[in-house]
Each structure stands twice: as C-alpha cells, then as structure tokens.
Amino acid sequence: MRQTEKEKLSDILVIAGLAAFAYYKYSKLTSEEKSKIVSDIRETGRNIIKEMIPDQVKSFIPGMK
C-alpha cells in the first residue's frame, strides 16, 4: 500500500518535531551529561559493530579480538 502525499508530510513533520525536541533537551544538559551521553553512544556503537562482524573477519582488524 502506497502512502499518500498527506501521509508522507505528516510523517516528515513528526520526525522533525522529534528531532527538535531532542535538540532542545540536549541543549539543556550540562557538559558532563553531554560527555556521558556521547561516550555511551560510542560504546553502544562499538558493541553493535563487534557483534555484527563475523569472527573470521575480526582476526584481520586490529583491536577487534
């Protein structure tokens, strides 16, 4: 089933609203809280990448063992 133009616009507006709200909340954080969030996101990304890379490939990547 295809989305109508009105539904697409509605989806875009919802996403834009969520992004604006996230930016607002982030701008109100202290520098320590911002640093913690960034480090948590980086660690989560590293863990996801480590889980997704096959073991045969990990042996070729330095620091992935």
pLDDT in tens, 5-33: 999 999 999 999 999 999 999 999 999 99
Q: Which residue has the higher pLDDT, 34 or 54?
A: 34
- Residue 23 near residue 15 (C-beta atoms within 8 A): no
> Is this prediction's pTM over 0.85?
no
In the chain, % of residues over pLDDT 90: 60
Distances from the Cα of 20 to the Cα of 3, 9, 27, 30, 34, angstroms: 24, 16, 10, 18, 17
pLDDT over 90 at 63, yes or no: no
End-to-end CA distance of the chain: 45
Q: How far apart are CA 62 and CA 9, in angstroms?
A: 45
pLDDT at 21: 98
